[in-house]
């Protein structure tokens, strides 16, 4: 997989914070640069399933663009909470999310992990596929309108099983 030039520059350019001081060594002045190192101590695990080790036993880890997803997967950040169920209007909906990469924070990835939202997302994707399939087909719009208006036909189509090749493709 080819890396972009922006990532190459980000990895190989000089740091933006440069700490220098002048030292006189045997009568000659010399500039010494100190590296800028920052340590962050934070609980980013949310509600872990396993208890975390004591702070004194934890090690500092290097994070960069290349290993960020692997570090996140190892940390297993997790959130668990209840939200009002606006889908059905009944009670609360329990949400339990574990993140393994930055992509898991996207709306579609979150929706795939919540049961009610997963079904809505799949329906949305099927409608998008239908629109793509219908594009340029004469009479398809009228056929869909006929199916939507006829409840008996709509129920029979909804209760019909998916073809085997369709289920394997998804």
pLDDT of residue 70: 92
Output the pLDDT for position 166. 53
CA dihedral 83→89→90→93, nearest 10 degrees, is: -20
Predicted local confidence at residue 10, as pLDDT:
66
90: which DSSP letter? S
Model pTM? 0.59
* Closest to 10 in 3D by CA, of 73, 66, 70: 66
Q: Counting Cβ atoms within 10 Å, is residue 139 exposed (0-12), middle (13-18) or buried (19+)?
A: exposed
Q: Are 80 and 96 in contact (CB under 8 A)?
A: yes
Q: What is the residue-level pLDDT of the chain in tens, covering all 170 positions? A: 556 666 776 677 665 777 888 888 888 888 888 877 778 777 777 888 888 888 888 888 888 888 989 988 988 899 999 999 988 888 898 899 999 999 999 999 999 999 889 999 998 998 888 888 888 887 888 888 888 888 888 788 778 777 765 555 55
Position 110 scores a pLDDT of 94
Overall size of the chain counted in residues? 170
The residue extents of the domains of the chain are 44-169
């Amino acid at each position: 997989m080819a890396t972009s030039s922006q990532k190459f520059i980000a990895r190989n350019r000089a740091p933006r914070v440069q700490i220098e001081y002048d030292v006189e060594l045997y009568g000659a002045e010399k500039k010494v640069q100190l590296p800028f190192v920052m340590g962050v101590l934070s609980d980013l695990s949310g509600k872990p399933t396993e208890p975390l080790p004591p702070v004194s036993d934890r090690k500092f880890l290097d994070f960069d663009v290349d290993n960020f997803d692997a570090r996140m997967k190892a940390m297993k950040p997790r959130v668990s909470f209840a939200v009002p169920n606006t889908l059905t209007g009944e009670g609360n909906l329990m949400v339990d999310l574990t993140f393994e990469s930055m992509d898991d924070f996207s709306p579609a990835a979150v929706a795939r992990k919540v049961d009610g939202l997963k079904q809505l997302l799949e329906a949305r994707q099927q409608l998008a596929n239908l629109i793509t399939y219908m594009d340029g087909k004469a009479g398809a719009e009228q056929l869909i309108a006929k199916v939507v208006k006829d409840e008996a036909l709509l129920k029979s189509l909804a209760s019909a099983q998916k073809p085997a090749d369709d289920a394997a493709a998804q």
